[in-house]
Amino acid sequence: MSTLKPTVSEIDHVQGGNSASIEIVEFGDYQCPYCGNAYPILKEIEETFGDQIKFVFRNFPLQESHEFAFRAALSAESAGLQGKFWEMHDALYENQYRLADDLFEELAETIGLDLEKFKSDSELDSTKEKVENDFESGIRSGVNGTPSFYVNGTKFDGEATDLYQMLKESTE
């Protein structure tokens, strides 16, 4: 059974209840269509279960398969440095269908980032390292495709819809 390595810490991007009993970690790629399909379902899960769950996103860009995946991950992390990781995360998935070189700055502007800072943060080694460390944690945790989900530290073998179903049953 594959488990999450390392466990969730303060360097992770967390949404929802901090003391929630259910912790969901997604390893995702902003250009992966399956992750794009999972995105609205995860939103629904978050709405349905509110503070009962804690949702964490880690980057797993398949950059050889998806040419914009790595840059998209850098953009989300850079937005995070201005306290707007989730705004960028959401904007990227909502605009996945039109991913292109000039989209990142457009989204940065839309969500109200300091554009100069966003651009320079995207170039930082530390930003790149954050994405690469997420990727490596995915490999060590047994990620075998995107999206991959971990529930309370254990790999969940299923899609977002299966996850939703499982949560409904377990909180009944």
Partner 1 sequence: MTNNSHYALLDKKDFIFKLHNMLEKGATAPDFELNATPDQKIKLKDFKGKNVILAFYPADWSPVCSDQMALYNEMLKYFGKYDAQIFGISVDSVWCHLAFEQDRKLHFPLLADFEPKGKVSKTYGVYDDEVGESKRALFVIDKEGKIAWSYLSPTAVNPGADGILDALEELSKK
Binding site for partner 1 (CB under 8 A): 2, 29, 32-35, 62-65, 135-136, 139-146, 157
Structure tokens belonging to residue 96: 């996945």
- Radius of gyration (Cα) for the chain, nearest Å? 15
Shortest distance (Å) from residue 90 CB to partner 1: 20
Q: Which residues are registered as beta bridge partners of 112?
A: none
Q: Is the Cβ of residue 26 or residue 29 nearer to partner 1 in the bound state?
A: 29
73, two tokens: 């991950």
Q: Residue 35, class by beta-carbon neighbours within 10 Å (0-12 exposed, 13-18 middle, 19+ buried)?
A: buried
Nearest to partner 1 of 35, 53 (CB atom): 35
- The residues, any chain, with a CB within 8 Å of residue 6's CB and separated by 6 or more, are 137
Token representation of residue 2: 């594959």
Tell me how far, at minimum, the Cβ of 97 lies from partner 1, in Å.
16
For partner 1, which is the closer residue by CB, 95 or 146?
A: 146
Q: Least distance in Å: CB of 12 to partner 1?
A: 19
- Residue 14 or residue 131: which is nearer to partner 1 going by CB? 131
